[in-house]
Amino acid sequence: MINDTLSEKIKYLFDRYWDEELTDEQEDALQAIADDIVSSYGWDAVFVAAENYLHEYCLTPESAVNFAHNYWGYYWADKPIADPHRFLGYLYYRVNFEASKYDGADILDSLAITLLPNAGYKEADLMLNPRYMPESDPKIIAAANAFREQLG
């Protein structure tokens, strides 16, 4: 079960547009909160709460891309996750693999080429495989299809 206080803090961090104009002090304050919850609750609990937020509140392509930008902005893409294909599959499911339509900044691709090699999936390492494309990754496609079957 997820701690309600942690869930509230995650909601606070992600209930904002990633590209809104913030002062340096506001950006620093958000980063401090992000860093503090990881220190206080541990990365595994924070990731579960963030992924729960993603599945509960990010039901449109735009909100999924917004989540991805915020996730990246808090420097969480460098942190390990147990099933990066499932995590990425949800994001690609929400944009229906039309990342270029919703994601002009290519944040989903950036997440994939960071998360997957960090988790040991060398096929997504652009230094080793410069032709890697998340949209054609069979494991991401399978995860997205599982969400499509489950959620419609």
Q: How many domains does the chain have?
A: 1
Contact 112, 95 (CB under 8 A): no
Q: Which range of residues forms the domain containing residue 68?
A: 4-151
Contact 134, 88 (CB under 8 A): yes
pTM above 0.85, yes or no: yes
Contact 41, 34 (CB under 8 A): no
pLDDT tens, per residue, the chain with 152 residues: 468 999 999 999 999 999 889 999 999 999 999 999 999 999 999 999 999 999 999 999 999 999 999 999 999 999 999 999 999 999 999 998 887 777 776 999 999 999 999 999 999 999 999 999 999 999 999 999 999 999 98
Question: Closest Cα partner for 68 from 35, 24, 44, 103?
Answer: 103
